[in-house]
């Protein structure tokens, strides 16, 4: 287990929201972090795909220019 420090404002919001959802603060934070990490995975995959398209596009442009 790792300990982190959060601001009092976030701790207050965490307490209120986790109570409203009927979750412990730990469960709420675990779910929030997992959700965020999944969202980042999608973003990383999109970035990789765009980089691949850019690379392919550059290669095609070079091939086209050589034909001129």
The per-residue pLDDT for range 35-45, each reduced to its tens digit, is 999 999 999 99
**For residue 59, pLDDT beyond 90:** no
Would you give the DSSP letter of residue 5?
Answer: -
Q: How far is CA 60 from the centre of its chain?
A: 31
d(CA 27, CA 8): 19
At residue 63, the pLDDT reads 80
Residue 22 CA neighbour count, 13 Å, CB half = 0
At residue 16, the pLDDT reads 97
Q: What's the longest Cα–Cα distance across the chain?
A: 68
5: phi then psi, degrees, rounded to nearest 5? -110, 130
CA end-to-end distance (rounded Å), the chain:
62
29 vs 63, more confident: 29
């Amino acid at each position: 287990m790792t300990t982190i420090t959060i601001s009092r404002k976030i701790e207050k919001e965490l307490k209120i929201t986790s109570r409203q959802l009927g979750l412990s603060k730990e469960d709420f934070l675990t779910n929030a972090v997992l959700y965020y990490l999944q969202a980042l995975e999608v973003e990383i995959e999109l970035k990789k795909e765009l980089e691949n398209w850019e690379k392919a596009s550059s290669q095609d442009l070079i091939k086209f220019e050589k034909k001129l």
